[in-house]
């Protein structure tokens, strides 16, 4: 679930990078994605 959600959030980050969404929102979603991927890594490592 972490990876799937992260991929969706990164789509909005890409849109923000392209100027089609607010940069601040894209940065927030990217940071959230990084956190989700780190969480997924911890879960897999258990």
Residue range 31-41, pLDDT digits in tens: 999 999 999 99
9-25: per-residue pLDDT in tens? 999 899 998 999 999 99
27, 16 contact by CB (below 8 A): yes
Does 46 have pLDDT greater than 80?
no
**Total number of domains in the chain:** 1
Q: Which two tokens stand for residue 11?
A: 């789509």
Predicted pLDDT at 18: 94
Q: What is the pTM of this model?
A: 0.81
Domain that residue 34 falls in? 2-45
Count of other CB atoms within 10 angstroms of residue 46: 4
């Amino acid at each position: 679930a972490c990876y799937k959600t992260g991929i969706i959030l990164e789509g909005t980050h890409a849109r923000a990078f392209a100027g089609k969404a607010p940069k601040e929102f894209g940065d927030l979603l990217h940071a959230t994605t990084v956190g989700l991927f780190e969480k997924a890594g911890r879960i897999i490592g258990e």
